[in-house]
Structure 1
Amino acid sequence: MAYVVRKPGSTISEAQIMEIIAKQVSPYKKIRKVAFINAIPRTPAGKILRRDWLSMLYLLPTILQADDIKLTLKSKLIPKSTNSAEMPSIDLKQFQENISNHFRPWQRSFQFWVRAADIYTGYKVFQVRVSFEKDVEKAEAMWERQHEHAADKIYSMCYDMGGFFLKNSDCVFLKKDFNLYALLDPLSYKLIWVVLNEYIVFYYSCLWSSASIAQVHRARLKGDKKDVVVKVQHPGVQDLMMTDLRNLQTFALCVQKTDIKFDLFSVCKEMEKQIVYEFDFKREADAMDRIRSFLSEINKKTVVKVPRVIKDVVTRKVLAMEYIGGIPILNLKDEIIKRGINPDGKLAAAAKQNILKSLTLAYGQMILKSGFFHADPHPGNILICKHSEVALLDYGQVKELPNLLRLGYANLVLAIADNDHIRASEGLRELGIDTLSLCENERAELFKLAQVMFDTKLLPGVTILQPFDEDSSIKKIAVQAFPEELFSVLRTVHLLRGLSVGLGVNYSCAEEWRPLAEEALYFSGRLKDEDLKSRNRRRRRFFRRSSGWSK
Structure 2
Amino acid sequence: MCRTFVPRRLSRSLRFYSTILPVLGQYVVRPWLHSIGLEEKTGEELADEMDDWGSKQLQETLLSLGGFYVKTGQVLSTRVDLFSKPYTDRLRVLQDSLPPVDAAEIRDIVSQELCGGKGLSELLREFDDKPLGTASIAQVHRAVLNDGREVAIKVLRPNMEPVLRGDVANLKVFALATRGRLPVDYYPVFCELERALDGELDFLNEAQSAMKVAASIRHDPLGRELDPPLVVPQPIPGMATRKVLVMDFIKGTPLSRLEERAKELGIDLGSKAGKVLGRRILEALTTAYGNMIFSSGFIHGDPHPGNIFVLEGGRVALIDCGQVCQLYREQRLLVAEAILAAAAYDGSRKMIQMLADCVRNFGVTFFKGQEDEDACAASVALYLFGEKDVEFPGGYSKEEFSDKSPLRQLSSFPMELVLLGRASVLVKGVAARLGVEWSVAKKWEPLARDAIVAVCDEDECRLPAWALPTASHAATSSERLRLGDAARGCAALIRRWGMEKAASVFAARRRELAKEAPGRGEK
Q: TM-score range by the shorter chain?
A: 0.7 to 0.9
Shifted more, 404-413 versus 224-233: the winner is: 404-413
> What are the equivalent positions in structure 2 for 1:156-195 lying under 5 Å apart?
156-174=60-78, 177=89, 178-189=92-103, 192=107, 194-195=110-111
In structure 2, C-alpha distance between the alignment counterparts of 1:534 and 1:110, rounded to whole Å: 55
Among 35, 54, 58, the alignment partner of 1:154 is 58
Shifted more, 119-128 versus 226-235: the winner is: 119-128
Q: CA deviation at 1:114?
A: 2.2
Q: Residues 534, 492 of structure 1: CA spacing in aligned structure 2 closer, same or farther, 3 A cutoff?
A: closer
Q: Residues 353, 480 of structure 1: CA spacing in aligned structure 2 closer, same or farther, 3 A cutoff?
A: same
Q: Residues 516, 144 of structure 1: CA spacing in aligned structure 2 closer, same or farther, 3 A cutoff?
A: farther
In structure 2, C-alpha distance between the alignment counterparts of 1:494 and 1:396, rounded to whole Å: 19
Q: After superposition, what is the alpha-carbon deviation per residue over 1:386-412, rounded to whole angstroms, capped at 9, x for unaligned? A: 221110101101111232222212221
Q: Does 1:296 align with 2:211?
A: no
Q: Which residue of 1 is the match for residue 298 of structure 2?
A: 372
| Contact 2:95/2:304 (<8 A) preserved | no
In structure 2, C-alpha distance between the alignment counterparts of 1:189 and 1:483, rounded to whole Å: 40
In structure 2, C-alpha distance between the alignment counterparts of 1:481 and 1:333, rounded to whole Å: 38
Q: Which residue of 1 is the match for residue 501 of structure 2?
A: 529
Tell me the SS of whatever aligns to 2:226.
coil
Q: Residues 182, 383 of structure 1: CA spacing in aligned structure 2 closer, same or farther, 3 A cutoff?
A: closer
> What are the equivalent positions in structure 2 for 1:113-512 lying under 5 Å apart?
113-125=17-29, 149-174=53-78, 177=89, 178-189=92-103, 192=107, 194-195=110-111, 196=114, 198=116, 200-202=122-124, 203-206=126-129, 207-222=131-146, 224-256=147-179, 258-260=180-182, 262-297=184-219, 298-419=224-345, 420-436=351-367, 443-454=374-385, 457=388, 466-475=399-408, 478-512=409-443
Tell me the SS of whatever aligns to 1:168.
helix
In structure 1, C-alpha distance between the alignment counterparts of 2:55 and 2:389, rounded to whole Å: 20
Q: Residues 390, 243 of structure 1: CA spacing in aligned structure 2 closer, same or farther, 3 A cutoff?
A: same
In structure 2, C-alpha distance between the alignment counterparts of 1:531 and 1:139, rounded to whole Å: 53
Q: Residues 497, 456 of structure 1: CA spacing in aligned structure 2 closer, same or farther, 3 A cutoff?
A: farther
> Which letter maps to 1:394?
D
> Which letter maps to 1:291?
V
In structure 1, C-alpha distance between the alignment counterparts of 2:2 and 2:363, rounded to whole Å: 47
| Contact 1:159/1:166 (<8 A) preserved | yes
Q: Which has the higher contact order (CA 8 A, sep 6+)?
A: 2
| Contact 2:183/2:400 (<8 A) preserved | no
> Which letter maps to 2:197?
I
Q: After superposition, what is the alpha-carbon deviation per residue over 1:178-233, rounded to whole angstroms, capped at 9, x for unaligned? A: 222554222223693743254852341242111111110000112x2221110111
Shifted more, 451-460 versus 397-406: the winner is: 451-460
In structure 2, C-alpha distance between the alignment counterparts of 1:401 and 1:130, rounded to whole Å: 49
Tell me the SS of whatever aligns to 1:380.
helix
Q: CA deviation at 1:435?
A: 2.2
Query: Which blocks of at least 5 consecutive residues in structure 1 are unaligned?
Result: 1-96, 537-551
> Which letter maps to 2:240?
V
Q: CA deviation at 1:439?
A: 6.8
Q: Residues 285, 304 of structure 1: CA spacing in aligned structure 2 closer, same or farther, 3 A cutoff?
A: same
> Which letter maps to 1:352?
G
In structure 2, C-alpha distance between the alignment counterparts of 1:468 and 1:535, rounded to whole Å: 34
In structure 2, C-alpha distance between the alignment counterparts of 1:162 and 1:252, rounded to whole Å: 19
- Give the TM-score taking structure 2 as reference length: 0.74
> Which letter maps to 1:251?
F
Q: Residues 225, 350 of structure 1: CA spacing in aligned structure 2 closer, same or farther, 3 A cutoff?
A: same
| Contact 2:253/2:309 (<8 A) preserved | yes
Q: CA deviation at 1:163?
A: 0.7
State, as a whole percentage, how many aligned pairs show the same letter: 29
| Contact 1:368/1:406 (<8 A) preserved | yes
Q: Residues 325, 424 of structure 1: CA spacing in aligned structure 2 closer, same or farther, 3 A cutoff?
A: same
> Which letter maps to 1:268?
F
Q: After superposition, what is the alpha-carbon deviation per residue over 1:80-124, rounded to whole angstroms, capped at 9, x for unaligned? A: xxxxxxxxxxxxxxxxx9986562112112222222332343344
In structure 1, C-alpha distance between the alignment counterparts of 2:317 and 2:385, rounded to whole Å: 24
Shifted more, 187-196 versus 352-361: the winner is: 187-196
Q: Identify, as 1 or 2, the structure richer in helix.
A: 2
Q: Which residue of 1 is the match for residue 511 of structure 2?
A: none
Q: Residues 428, 204 of structure 1: CA spacing in aligned structure 2 closer, same or farther, 3 A cutoff?
A: same
Q: Residues 118, 334 of structure 1: CA spacing in aligned structure 2 closer, same or farther, 3 A cutoff?
A: closer
| Contact 1:259/1:468 (<8 A) preserved | no
In structure 2, C-alpha distance between the alignment counterparts of 1:131 and 1:455, rounded to whole Å: 37
> Which letter maps to 1:188?
D
Tell me the SS of whatever aligns to 2:128.
strand
> What are the equivalent positions in structure 2 for 1:20-39 lying under 5 Å apart?
none
In structure 2, C-alpha distance between the alignment counterparts of 1:130 and 1:522, rounded to whole Å: 59
Tell me the SS of whatever aligns to 1:370.
coil
Shifted more, 401-410 versus 145-154: the winner is: 145-154
